[in-house]
Amino acid sequence: SSLLLMAGIMVTVGLCRRFTRRRLRSHQRLCTFLLEMFSTFQICACTNELCLLGNVEPKPHTALTLTYGFTVLHGLTLTGSTCNPCGTLQPMWGGGISVEMGGLKIAAQFVAAVLARVFMHFIWSLEVAEPHFGALSQGCSNPMQTTEMQAFCIELLFSVVFQLTILRVESVNPKYKVHLIALLITMLVYAGGNLTGAIFNPALAFSLHANCFYDKFLSYSLVYWIAPSLGKFLMLYVF
């Protein structure tokens, strides 16, 4: 049921993106906002559901396999979208897009993060699948299983590694590039998922753990917003 739900989300988002490109191409700002919003919604909604499947046996093989598989699917279906505020900072830094357009994309990403969380909570309340039972009563799932400083360093390091890899594989054939990126994300999740969740995406982190931001805003904004953004700036400055 969970796999069918995620497949349905991807198909619906694909149709919405196609409609937006065809009907709103002349409205550049609105088209850009909606495309980025739909794409980020897909990643946030599917990742919310994947988090519920993390305890499916055999652990962690099932969760890692699903992470790799759906990351490949996201890469193949969401071409042209960054779905990550940190990724949007790169063209803004290099002058590829204006600050206004970059801000519009980041706003779309956080709007999508909130919409995805609201939508998934509604789906979980229906309890159509076994993993949904009791999902709404978890509150803050507390992804940080280490000290705040260590969590900050992990998310910063993962952000640098991920964004540097994105730059290095730009010239690689797209059909191979998505697999390389998916493999890297799966390796990072395996290495640090039990410590911080290995998110390195501010919008996704807010969608997954909004309750934690409400409870401990300073700690979670430092680890899941500032650390990956700082990692991106350090990588751009050095390389």
Nearest CA among 43, 11, 165 for reference residue 108: 43
pLDDT at 101: 92
The predicted model scores a pTM of: 0.94
CATH at residue 79: 1.20.1080.10
In terms of residue numbers, what domain contains 120? 2-238
- Residue 51 is predicted with a pLDDT of 87
3-state secondary structure of 8: helix
Residues 131 and 52 sit within 8 Å (Cβ to Cβ)? yes
How far apart are alpha carbons 58 and 81 in whole angstroms?
33
Residues across the chain: 239
The pLDDT confidence band at residue 139, using thresholds 50, 70 and 90, is low
Query: Is residue 135 a contact partner of residue 173, using CB atoms and an 8 Å limit?
Result: no
Check residue 138 and give its pLDDT. 67
Helix 85-94 × helix 148-168 angle, to 10°: 50
Nearest to 87 by CA among 138, 40, 22, 146: 40
Mean pLDDT score, 7-18: 96
Q: What is the pLDDT, as a whole number, of residue 166?
A: 86
